[in-house]
Structure 1
């Protein structure tokens, strides 16, 4: 990987089923800088690569803090993170990447978070405090026991009314996303990170607003991976041709053939597996590329997307 070797300094339980991991540089050098909303990829055993938002203040150069929810349907990443790492262990990391950047000039930033979706907003709130810019967060969780970073949010809240909690399993109402968007002051920027139902409601509520004011980040796919198969993929660099059988994904075919493909989320949301397309029309199933990028058909996420044509040629 192209980033630093990280040394795990501390694990901390942040809420029920949620643990934070504090990493420092393994060689003692300052860590590469990051911006609010950024994430890093961690190299886990057995070739697993997982993306985690950086939670700490971007002004800190000595540590990276990530937070991991123990997912009930874990594909290996969160289960391993919750069971295996101990202080003193080393992990390889990517350089910080930001696909969910903060617009720092907004007079007000409004964050809508569901569950573990609070993580990117922690660094954003810290950065906005440094800039002395206003922010507001609406944080929905099933219960108070599942609410991470409540005390930290309270300490960041310099006005005393910036944090709005919604514990949906305790007879509290869910955030009224349509009302939040409707009542947002002119010029404010709105952000959402959480489960797909929340994100879909947010996107619908924001449909009439200028797109540059709307920001969302998914941590699960909005649609199923393409598994229809029945097409061939040619690898331009080697000339090798692979058949993608029905019931299999393109990524399955590449991995079965021993092709060293970098991938992380397997759901088309992180961008790790973005691959140039030289010929053919992909069946785009990702939430990473823009509508314009999908229409151009010059790249695809091989972890979840397939082909609408009988043949794809990829720059691999």
Structure 2
């Protein structure tokens, strides 16, 4: 963990602390040397009133006190011995480190510390009150990111199915782009946030709009027994109503499990051969071109929306008969 990241983590932690938590942390570092009965914690940069048993009350920034600073009057008279320093940091770090090489010469001087996992490292004495082995910190970050990568991939597969390969994905944050492999257009970079909002391969454009018919049919033949589904849903919010026509190999609730910002009602759901469903969708989109609608809130497939569905189109879907009806709307 770098110094700047460490400081950021320290600030975030301290801003969230209560007075009681501050006192507990302070006693871990300073033991019973001070009286904290008049402390009112108000943030890492705020000053708190601390009572020295030898020199009386003094004010000090809470963050400095947690870094090991104490009574300035005592500092000039009673410097820590090596044994006192070791005793304090051993308590803070639960006897994790070996301090046999420590020679304490003041807070700003580096001391030699032995990590049982990564060996010898050097650190300023004052920093060791708050931080430990750099490599251990990195290990914890990697472990956390590895867990987050697995969680992201699990959510992505629940949304996108088997369309993408995530072997090269390394999750480092919701807004940091990851590498995703499209089976038709190779790899692309995208933020996890966008991907879990339903955005997919830029070249595929909303999953299927730029696919070749033959590629889509082939995919359905290989993975879904040659079947696909056409759906008509009514989408609505407190100030908006519109319709969407699209195709999917999933159930509707899975298709819109992550990226649907609107409530919706299923009007039609037709399961047929992938080739038939593909052709039907394209023909319906052409038929309804005068009713094209752009939702106020964008989502995956928002380019397939319409302000209304004429009664003739609804009747057509009600009485659908593969090849005959396709000829009627050609």
TM-score range, shorter chain: under 0.3
TM-score (norm 2): 0.22
**Greater relative contact order structure (CA < 8 Å, 6+ sep):** 1
The structure where helix makes up a greater share of residues is 2
Decide which structure has the larger Cα Rg and report it.
Answer: 2
The structure where strand makes up a greater share of residues is 1
